[in-house]
């Protein structure tokens, strides 16, 4: 996977419902140095859900599938039956630039 993505390093952790945590690392700390990564290294753990959603919406806008002023309800309403009322009228332009921490739809 590292070769495919061009990432210098990857780490993973897995824990089944019961059982020990299984960890794995692969790669180097920097592209220009041979020092291998370790489980003791500090890793950025973050969510990219918002940026990926904004990117996908932008690609759909570019393709003419949706518009920035289309509402979330008009495009996704039939798939999100229990959508919060305050999100129904929000358009994609607003939803792609709001601060993190929105309540679930």
The answer to whether position 105 is within a domain reads: no
Mark whether 84 and 65 lie in a shared domain.
yes
DSSP H helical ranges for the chain: 2-5, 49-62, 72-76, 85-88, 92-95
The answer to whether position 4 is within a domain reads: yes
Binning the chain into helix, strand and coil, the percentages to the nearest 5 are 30, 15, 55
**Alpha carbon distance 73, 89 (integer Å):** 7
pTM of the model: 0.51
Whole-number pLDDT of residue 98: 60
Mark whether 9 and 31 lie in a shared domain.
yes
**Alpha carbon distance 76, 36 (integer Å):** 45
Total number of domains in the chain: 2
Asked if 8 contacts 27 with a C-beta cutoff of 8 angstroms, the reply is yes
The residue range of the domain holding 33 is 1-39
Helices then strands, each counted (H, E), the chain:
5, 2
Whole-number pLDDT of residue 27: 94
The answer to whether position 104 is within a domain reads: no
Whole-number pLDDT of residue 29: 93
Whole-number pLDDT of residue 102: 55
pLDDT tens-digit profile, the chain (105 residues) = 778 888 899 988 888 888 888 999 999 999 899 999 999 998 877 777 788 888 899 999 999 999 999 998 999 889 988 988 888 888 888 777 765 555 555
């Amino acid at each position: 996977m590292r070769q495919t993505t061009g990432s210098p390093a990857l780490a993973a952790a897995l824990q089944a419902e019961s059982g020990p945590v299984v960890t794995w690392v692969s790669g180097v700390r920097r592209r220009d140095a041979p020092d291998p990564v370790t489980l003791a290294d500090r890793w950025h753990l973050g969510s990219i859900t918002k940026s990926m959603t904004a990117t996908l919406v932008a690609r759909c806008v570019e393709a003419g599938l949706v518009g920035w002023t289309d509402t979330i309800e008009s495009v996704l309403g039939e798939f999100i039956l229990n959508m919060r009322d305050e999100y129904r009228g929000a358009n994609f332009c607003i939803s792609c630039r709001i601060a993190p921490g929105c309540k679930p739809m």
